[in-house]
Structure 1
Amino acid sequence: MQSLFQILMLILDVIWFFILAHVIMSWLINFQVLNMRQQLVAQIWYGLNRVLEPIYGPIRRILPPMGGLDLTPLVVLLAIMALRIVLINNAALFY
């Protein structure tokens, strides 16, 4: 059962990293530091979008429109932190 706990924590860590990379990359693209005409940048961007859209989609349907401000990554990061807290507080069940 400890392996299950570690796998769940690893999955949450990977998703956390992908979301942070997606947010930082969106800022760099919007401030024109990164150019979407570069093939590598475009592939990474579209890959991150394809991985994260199943997570973002249901939350975007719930959140009201904020006038161009997307709070979906913040909500997902808060949910991941809440899941980590719940898992850590109940870690004794996995041992």
Structure 2
Amino acid sequence: MDYVILAVAKVLSLVLNLYMWVVIISALITWVNPDPYNPIVRFLRSVTEPVFAKVRQYLPFVNIGGFDLSPIVVLLAIQMLDIALVGNLTRLAYGM
């Protein structure tokens, strides 16, 4: 059973790291004027924009002077989940 929990922790860590990079790339793409019909841009926006919209809805102060800081909030949340959830699952697996 401990190997299953460890595998879940590693897969969860991989998914969180992958989404972190998607958020970073999506934030960097907003600095240039990308083609909105490009499939990569559409995928990035469809994956990240719902999360950014929720952050903007619950934390309206993340839009400071025209700068949208919601990607930073999402990155911090991903890191907190990675440390707390994956760390506790790994500790639980090694403690069995």
Length-normalised TM-score, structure 2:
0.77
The CA deviation at 1:87 is: 3.0
Q: Report the AA paired with residue 7 of structure 2.
A: S
Higher relative contact order (CA 8 A, sep 6+): 2
Query: RMSD of the alignment, in Å?
Result: 1.9
Contact kept, 8 Å, 1:22 with 1:48, in 2: the verdict is yes
- Give the gaps of 5 or more residues in structure 2: none
**Per-residue Cα deviation, 1:70-92 (whole angstroms, up to 9, x for no partner):** 11100000111111111354221
The sequence identity of aligned pairs, in percent, is 33
Q: Which residue of 2 aligns with 1:61?
A: 57
The CA deviation at 1:94 is: 3.0
Structure 1 CA distance, aligned partners of 2:6 and 2:82? 15
Q: Which of 56, 70, 73 is the aligned partner of 1:72?
A: 70
SS at match of 1:27: coil
Length-normalised TM-score, structure 1:
0.78
Structure 2 CA distance, aligned partners of 1:46 and 1:68? 23
Q: Which residue of 2 aligns with 1:43?
A: 39
Structure 1 CA distance, aligned partners of 2:25 and 2:66? 20
Bigger strand fraction = 2
The CA deviation at 1:93 is: 1.0
Structure 2 CA distance, aligned partners of 1:86 and 1:59? 20
Q: Which residue of 2 aligns with 1:17?
A: 21
Q: Which residue of 2 aligns with 1:27?
A: 31
